């Protein structure tokens, strides 16, 4: 795409940072989007006359909504494209609907779209050596191209980033030749433009997501929540949202916003909840009865967590997801249309139904001293959640998530805020072999923990990183130190550091610790929509 001199108004530069979840205005019809492409893009692109690929280059790629947003933003910033925000939204909607990815093509890669922090990737060695040195593997895998277009992308990299051949891991080999000869054909095979998955998905009748949803989720620092989400269709694939509910401690939450659905399942919402602007990146199921993904603060993506919403009769969660043998505990069963008798499974006795409505049932339960250690299926009437409640004897080990993470210094009057990191403790009981850390361990779920920090190694201890790199609060949220030089440190270095995050779970008279690695590093000065 490039500047159309006959349509010049003003260059709208710098809009690549616009959060895609905020694209919630009325989308144009396909005909309008095609007109915009003709008006704005055909100074450089051409019409091919082919029905399947009507526009050169543009029609030979498939991408997520975020991927198309990045493409158009790059055309604005680097090629002089003039396009209004409304036109940009319309084109993204059109391209994501008609040249998007099927649900199966995004499976296992949604962490990138959902802004899930600190995911450790593993991709083919050839891609690791040629492409993943600079950006995530998921960024590659969340697009589809013809082989010629994959080759064009390699040529683009050489023109735009000529030092790519000189980076560590590339300068000791013929990077360009390997990329063009070996990588492009592999990408065309692994991530082809034409696929049965996309062809099949295009034929599926997409479900209307209007109506009432029961949503369960987690927010760092506030805990789990249950809420009713009501979606009202205001235009084609656009919904007005009203959210009302409570956190586990009884604190109310309420919010309003809008959502746009791309490609029949990609839910992108922008809401204000209790004065805080948040985003939702969710995927709708093919039957239109569930939404799953992540919700996070617009201005601090780390502060967020997984959410699930159901429209039909279903159980979304049991909280907490564990009960100890011989223990009495309040359990909250969350979901939608929860009617009928509650059954907690073998070895568990329902003592009392404390409160209930269609979306939430709170019960007092007791596990017998001889209850079998294992996962129980919880039922409410005709609906069940397999393995939703674990019965255990003792916490054998604790795992801290994420196991490896990065936080970034910032603030101190500078334009880049601090990038925090948030942690949770997952408890496990030993399985039948009685040994923790083996394949048959029983996952209990997230457990309350006390949080501390310590130096990761001798160098971190010598440099006193624990004093300067940052602090962790009672909720497991780490806040890094200030940006800039620190005269108190050796050679006036900044407040980076190498730390271990320690989570301690108390189980009766037993304390069990888990550790995770945290690297506190410098600011990130370039932040694309897709990393």
* CB 457, CB 430: distance < 8 Å: no
Looking at the fold, whether 303 and 321 belong to one and the same domain comes out as no
Query: 517 lies in a domain?
Result: yes
Q: Is the pLDDT of residue 11 over 50?
A: no
Of 252, 288, 229, 219, the closest CA to residue 477 belongs to 219
Region 510-515: mean pLDDT is: 96
Q: Is the pLDDT of residue 489 over 90?
A: yes
Residue 233's domain comprises: 211-310
Looking at the fold, whether 401 and 517 belong to one and the same domain comes out as yes
Q: How far is CA 194 from CA 50, 105, 205, in A?
A: 15, 12, 20
Region 473-490: mean pLDDT is: 95
- Residue 237 belongs to domain with CATH number: 2.40.128.120
- The residue that leads in pLDDT, 134 or 229, is 229
Looking at the fold, whether 410 and 485 belong to one and the same domain comes out as yes
Query: 527 lies in a domain?
Result: no
Count structural domains, the chain.
5
Query: 483 lies in a domain?
Result: yes
Looking at the fold, whether 237 and 181 belong to one and the same domain comes out as no
Of 203, 131, 156, 133, the closest CA to residue 61 belongs to 156
- Write out the two tokens for 466: 């624990």
- The predicted-structure confidence for 75-129, as pLDDT tens digits, reads as follows 999 999 999 999 999 999 999 999 999 999 999 999 999 999 899 999 999 998 8
Percent share of the chain, pLDDT over 70? 95
- The predicted-structure confidence for 422-453, as pLDDT tens digits, reads as follows 999 999 999 889 899 999 999 999 999 999 99
Looking at the fold, whether 387 and 420 belong to one and the same domain comes out as no
Query: 510 lies in a domain?
Result: yes
Task: Work out the pLDDT band at 29, boundaries 50, 70, 90.
Answer: low
Q: Is the pLDDT of residue 47 over 70?
A: yes
Helix (H) or strand (E) holding 283: strand 276-284
Looking at the fold, whether 405 and 499 belong to one and the same domain comes out as yes
Percent share of the chain, pLDDT over 90? 82
Q: Is the pLDDT of residue 304 over 60?
A: yes
Looking at the fold, whether 273 and 345 belong to one and the same domain comes out as no
Burial, 341: exposed, middle or buried (Cβ in 10 Å; 0-12, 13-18, 19+)?
exposed
Task: Work out the pLDDT band at 9, boundaries 50, 70, 90.
Answer: very low
* CB 329, CB 319: distance < 8 Å: no
pLDDT of residue 171: 77
Neighbours of 198 (CB within 10 A): 19
pLDDT of residue 169: 74
Mean pLDDT of the chain: 91
Query: 198 lies in a domain?
Result: no
Query: 197 lies in a domain?
Result: no
Q: Is the pLDDT of residue 8 over 50?
A: no
Looking at the fold, whether 401 and 385 belong to one and the same domain comes out as no
Looking at the fold, whether 73 and 131 belong to one and the same domain comes out as no
The three state secondary structure string of 186-205 is HHHHHCECCCHHHHHHHHCC
Looking at the fold, whether 274 and 291 belong to one and the same domain comes out as yes
Q: Is the pLDDT of residue 314 over 50?
A: yes
- The residue that leads in pLDDT, 22 or 42, is 42
* Predicted TM-score (pTM) of this structure: 0.90
Looking at the fold, whether 362 and 402 belong to one and the same domain comes out as no
pLDDT of residue 75: 94
- Residue 478 belongs to domain with CATH number: 2.60.40.10
Q: Is the pLDDT of residue 14 over 80?
A: no
Which of 12-21, 33-42, 470-479 is modeled with the greatest confidence? Answer: 470-479
């Amino acid at each position: 795409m490039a500047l159309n001199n006959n349509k010049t108004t003003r260059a709208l530069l710098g809009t690549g940072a616009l959060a895609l979840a905020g694209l919630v205005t009325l989308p144009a019809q396909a005909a309008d989007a095609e007109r915009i492409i003709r008006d704005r893009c055909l100074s450089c692109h051409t019409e091919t006359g082919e029905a399947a690929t009507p526009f050169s280059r543009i029609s030979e790629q498939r991408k997520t909504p975020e991927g198309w947003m990045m493409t158009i933003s790059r055309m604005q910033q680097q090629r002089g494209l003039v396009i209004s925000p409304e036109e940009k939204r319309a084109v993204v909607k059109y391209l994501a609907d008609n040249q998007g990815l099927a649900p199966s093509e995004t499976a296992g890669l949604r962490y990138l779209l959902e802004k899930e922090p600190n995911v450790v990737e593993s991709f083919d060695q050839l891609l690791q050596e040629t492409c993943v040195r600079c950006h995530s593997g998921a960024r590659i895998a969340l697009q589809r191209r013809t082989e010629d277009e994959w080759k064009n992308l390699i040529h683009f990299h050489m023109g735009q980033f000529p030092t790519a051949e000189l980076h560590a891991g590339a300068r000791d080999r013929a990077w360009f030749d390997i990329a063009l000869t070996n990588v492009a054909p592999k990408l065309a095979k692994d991530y082809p433009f034409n696929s049965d998955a996309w062809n099949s998905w295009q034929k599926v009748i997409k479900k209307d997501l209007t109506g009432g949803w029961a949503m369960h989720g987690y927010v760092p620092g506030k805990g789990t929540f249950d809420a009713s989400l009501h979606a009202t269709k205001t235009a084609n694939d656009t919904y007005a949202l009203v959210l009302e509910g409570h956190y586990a401690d009884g604190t109310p939450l309420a919010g309003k916003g809008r959502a746009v659905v791309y490609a029949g399942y990609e839910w992108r919402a922008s809401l204000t909840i209790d004065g805080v602007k948040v985003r939702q990146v969710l995927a709708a199921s093919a039957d239109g009865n569930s939404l799953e993904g992540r919700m996070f603060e617009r201005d601090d993506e780390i502060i967020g967590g997984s959410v699930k919403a159901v429209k039909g009769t279903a159980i979304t969660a049991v909280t907490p997801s564990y009960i100890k043998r011989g223990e009495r505990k309040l359990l909250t069963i969350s979901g939608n249309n929860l009617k009928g008798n509650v059954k907690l499974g073998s070895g568990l006795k329902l003592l009392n139904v404390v409160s209930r409505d269609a979306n939430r049932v709170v019960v007092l339960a007791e596990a017998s001293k001889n209850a079998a250690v294992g996962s129980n299926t919880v039922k409410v009437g005709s609906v069940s959640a397999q393995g939703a409640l674990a019965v255990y004897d003792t916490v054998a080990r604790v795992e801290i998530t994420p196991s490896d993470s990065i936080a970034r210094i910032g603030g101190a009057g500078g334009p880049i805020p601090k990038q925090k990191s948030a942690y949770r403790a997952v408890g496990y009981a030993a399985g039948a072999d009685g040994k923790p850390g083996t394949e048959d361990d029983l996952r209990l779920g997230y457990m309350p923990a006390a949080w501390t920090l310590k130096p990761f190694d001798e160098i971190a201890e010598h440099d006193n990183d624990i004093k300067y790199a940052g602090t962790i609060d009672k909720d497991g949220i780490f806040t890094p130190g200030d940006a800039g030089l620190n005269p108190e440190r050796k050679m006036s270095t900044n407040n980076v550091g190498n730390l271990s995050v320690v989570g301690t779970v108390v189980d009766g008279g037993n304390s069990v610790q888990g550790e995770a690695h945290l690297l506190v590093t410098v600011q990130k000065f370039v932040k694309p929509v897709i990393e």
